[in-house]
Structure 1
Amino acid sequence: MSTVLLVHAKGGPPLGHVLSRTAARAEVHLLALSALPPAVAGAARRLCASVVTPADAHRSDLVSLIVKRAEAVGADAVLTFSEYAVVAVAEACEALGLPGAGGASALARDKRLMRRTWQEHGLPQPEFRAVATEADLRDAAADLPCPLLLKAAWSAGSTAHQIIRSPHEVSGAWRRSREVMAESAQLGFAELHVAEAQGDFVVERIVTGSVADWFDEPGWGDYVSVEGVVADGTFHPVCLSGRMPTVEPFTERAGITPALLSPDAQDRVVALAREAVDALGLRDCGTHTEIKLGADGRMWLIETAARFGGAMTVPQIEEVFGLDLVGMLVDHLLGRPVEWPEQALTPAQAHGAAGSLVVLAVDGRGQAWQDRRVWDFPAVSAVVPLSRGSELSVVAESSLADGSVVPVYDPAAGANTMAALCLLSATDARTVLRDFETLIDALPRVLPAVRPSAVQPEEVSV
């Protein structure tokens, strides 16, 4: 039986989903760089031949750590689904002579390198500047027209995003973004391999999207993602995921499979995604490419990752299109034949629809809830009216326990202040969108109010 070393860190698809699909294809050895979610710790022990959690002292050379563990278990493939471990695993695979994302993996991780590469290839993207100091940011704000978006070059989940509306806001934005990156590192949401990565930033012009030019009904966000895979250097698009509008500054609220674009629009989006992935020179990995949709057919590349989309993107694709992307990638890395889709699957080929919703303490208009609430999924599922045939569940490993106080939404911290992740299955994508709108409006009403004594002082400033 083939052997796989799975490197786990925070982020990515739910570990429970990944483990079960990987274990169905090979013997799995788990190298846990982050603590296992309590909801899947038992399953990990059952499904894995070994589970190793190295001490922090042994992580100074992460690539060597991965290589040694892979050699110890006789791994035929090494993979990760976490953004924060992508580069280390790719470099380890290079050292081991195993298939992986390849030496160009950092181009799909460091937003500065990514944007420079796309600039060299003449691909459409927001105008940008790399910044390493507050002085760099001041120079960029003087050179580029506001509003601008400051991003951490190695972040994920919209962490440390700051909108700069005038040069006067530079100092505050710089200070807050650096604070959030330091806080995220303490929570385990930070690059694991590249030293001092939390000090690297990029600032870019904010481009204006247009939902009406791409979707037949309101409620959709002005960007989509193209889910795919690179196998032996060839990009295979799988499908498109739609979005709800982001919460300011640009925190993602929900992803919906499939995205309801016309065939012509989908073809144009996929063509741009192919150019973006090809420019990065990836070899063997999942891909997730986000594209902003503008008026008159304009598009801008947001970013590409050398891994599958996070949250419930992968389980949604399996439910809607019947493709086990995790298992298919494992098979490919082990040298087994895999039939990837000949072209991106369309809404006409979907069997129902599915979406994942990040629960944030923000209403449908983007305004913070007026009072504090306690997360209680049974109360939500019992009271919120959904469409006929819709089924709502909670992803336990990605959610607070019932009875936990919902964090105050912090725009700079992004998804770090989420309370839960919910999965909705429905008859079609429009129904998922409408049910999510209903759910978002209902949450601050149906969740139990917090007793003042239950809120600790530090919780208020999450």
Structure 2
Amino acid sequence: MGGPNVPTLARSLSGLVECVWVYRADEVANAARDLPIMAETGRTVVADDDDRTVELLRHESADAPLDGVLTLSENKLGLASRIAAEHGLRFNTPEAVHRLTNKYAQRQALAASVPVPRFALITDTASLSEGADHVGFPAVLKPVRGGGSKLTTLVRDLAELQQSWATALEYFQGPPSRATRLLRSVGRPQMLLEEQLVGTRDWHTEPRLGDYVSVDSTVWDGVVTHVMTMDKLPQSEGFRERAHITPSMLPAGRQAEIHAMTSAALAALGVTQGMTHTELKLTASGPRIIEVNGRPSGASHGILMAAAGYDLVAESARACLGERPMAEPVYTGAGGFLTPCVPGELSGRPVRITFDPGVSSLDGVLEFYDMGVTSFDLGLGQGYAAMVYAQADTPAGLLDLNDKIVAGMNITVGELPEER
């Protein structure tokens, strides 16, 4: 889920390691264009399931032992942990990986030493009222496993909670798809209900920024280094993120508070190795953990290359090989990942998104991906009109660039078919 693509990984790892690429058989068709690249840079192991993958790697490594295991993907963390344990390599324990990939288990672990909102596990209709009584309203309902804001909804009363639960069941019980694979990986439907964290934008002097941030950290034999702190714009409907910008514009003292809370959370979760991505709400009582992920942000590699010429993949590989902890980036400018959103009320409607001529070549735009949205499902966290890697001299310059991109976005709405 997320992370650099195979060509990017291959460029970063070329000359550094011989790769053993691991793919599931049901993923190969989607990765057909990447197979030649993988063949050029090493060997490929393809198996039907994780058990078979572990078995094949055991035979593959008999004559050429593995020196490290690296994944920047959420849905590969469990497999990577098993491979590492099998071969005596650096990685988080299966127990820590579970806490990093299961939001309910994560809240349970954090609650012992880190301030957390009230929370409850929802597994069936009968648990809705009990969960609501414990958590209160307003609250946020989200899958215990998932990302990209899929099925994450704000609920203000029991009726909205019941409706959101019913909607979630449709995705859990409907036809499987790539979009719902991670959601359904826990088996029976499970959702986390938690008290809504109330943020304040008073932390920032820049009025365009939102009330939450994220921190990408590296942990090497238990030693934590905070590699990148990113500011964000206020979220769009459906908890969709609109921009990630680094370096942070927060004062050093405020960033120290954020980093201390992040370090405390990583310790509570038992994280000892690898990259993490922590999202924090900026509240009047201090920073509060939204969630911790056991991999960097999907856009981190591109953002750090733009801001500091920093190769996150290569640095991660050196760390997992045990050569040294990851170095901290030296910023020469600002880097951002800008994701303008289609208004949430248009979910399910036919739409056409265009951009004014020249928007994709504005000064500072490094890569511009028009997502070609013709319709979208807000429940699955969809509706991003474009994804843009950008660079500027300052973070404020990136906010100015984002304003220009949004101003150059045009939306045409079609008519819904009449109900019969």
TM-score range, shorter chain: 0.7 to 0.9
- The Cα of 1:46 is off from its aligned counterpart by 5.9
Aligned partners of 1:407, 1:69: CA distance in 2, in Å? 42
- The Cα of 1:384 is off from its aligned counterpart by 6.7
Q: Any residues of structure 2 matched to 1:337-352 within 5 Å, and which?
A: 337-338=324-325, 340-341=327-328, 350-352=331-333
| SS of structure 2 residue aligned to 1:196 | coil
Letter in 2 for 1:19: A
Structure 2 residue corresponding to 1:48, chosen from 27, 41, 54: 41
Aligned partners of 2:28, 2:353: CA distance in 1, in Å? 22
Structure 2 residue corresponding to 1:200, chosen from 176, 180, 190: 190
Letter in 2 for 1:25: L
Q: Residue 304 of structure 2 contacts residue 310 of structure 2 at CA under 8 Å; is this kept in 1?
A: yes
Aligned partners of 1:435, 1:371: CA distance in 2, in Å? 28
Aligned partners of 2:232, 2:163: CA distance in 1, in Å? 30
Partner of 2:138: 147
Q: Any residues of structure 2 matched to 1:303-342 within 5 Å, and which?
A: 303-310=291-298, 312-338=299-325, 340-341=327-328
Q: Residue 288 of structure 1 contacts residue 305 of structure 1 at CA under 8 Å; is this kept in 2?
A: yes
Structure 2 residue corresponding to 1:435, chosen from 389, 401, 411: 401
Change (3 A) 1:179 1:383: same
Aligned partners of 1:204, 1:110: CA distance in 2, in Å? 14
TM-score by length of 2: 0.87
Q: Residue 63 of structure 1 contacts residue 91 of structure 1 at CA under 8 Å; is this kept in 2?
A: no
Structure 2 residue corresponding to 1:299, chosen from 287, 290, 303: 287
Change (3 A) 1:35 1:184: farther
Q: Any residues of structure 2 matched to 1:289-438 within 5 Å, and which?
A: 289-295=278-284, 297-310=285-298, 312-338=299-325, 340-341=327-328, 350-362=331-343, 368=346, 372-374=350-352, 380=356, 382-383=358-359, 386=362, 389-394=363-368, 400=371, 404=372, 406-415=373-382, 417-438=383-404
- The Cα of 1:78 is off from its aligned counterpart by 2.0
Aligned partners of 1:208, 1:153: CA distance in 2, in Å? 21
Aligned partners of 1:177, 1:72: CA distance in 2, in Å? 41
Aligned partners of 1:183, 1:303: CA distance in 2, in Å? 27
Q: Residue 150 of structure 2 contacts residue 381 of structure 2 at CA under 8 Å; is this kept in 1?
A: yes
Aligned partners of 1:258, 1:37: CA distance in 2, in Å? 35
Aligned length: 411
- The Cα of 1:159 is off from its aligned counterpart by 0.7
Partner of 2:107: 115
Aligned partners of 2:346, 2:115: CA distance in 1, in Å? 34
Once superposed, what is the RMSD of the aligned Cα atoms? 3.0
Structure 2 residue corresponding to 1:247, chosen from 236, 239, 259: 236
Q: Residue 86 of structure 1 contacts residue 105 of structure 1 at CA under 8 Å; is this kept in 2?
A: yes
- The Cα of 1:198 is off from its aligned counterpart by 6.1
Letter in 1 for 2:189: G
Letter in 2 for 1:301: I
Q: For residues 439-460 of structure 1, what are the alpha-carbon distances to aligned partners after superposition, in whole Å with 9 as ceiling and x for unaligned?
A: 1232125xxx5898xx9x8xxx
Q: For residues 5-60 of structure 1, what are the alpha-carbon distances to aligned partners after superposition, in whole Å with 9 as ceiling and x for unaligned?
A: xxxxx322333322321234111122223357679627724643234443xxx22x
Larger mean CA deviation between 124-133 and 436-445 belongs to: 436-445
Change (3 A) 1:370 1:128: closer
TM-score by length of 1: 0.80
Aligned partners of 2:253, 2:385: CA distance in 1, in Å? 38
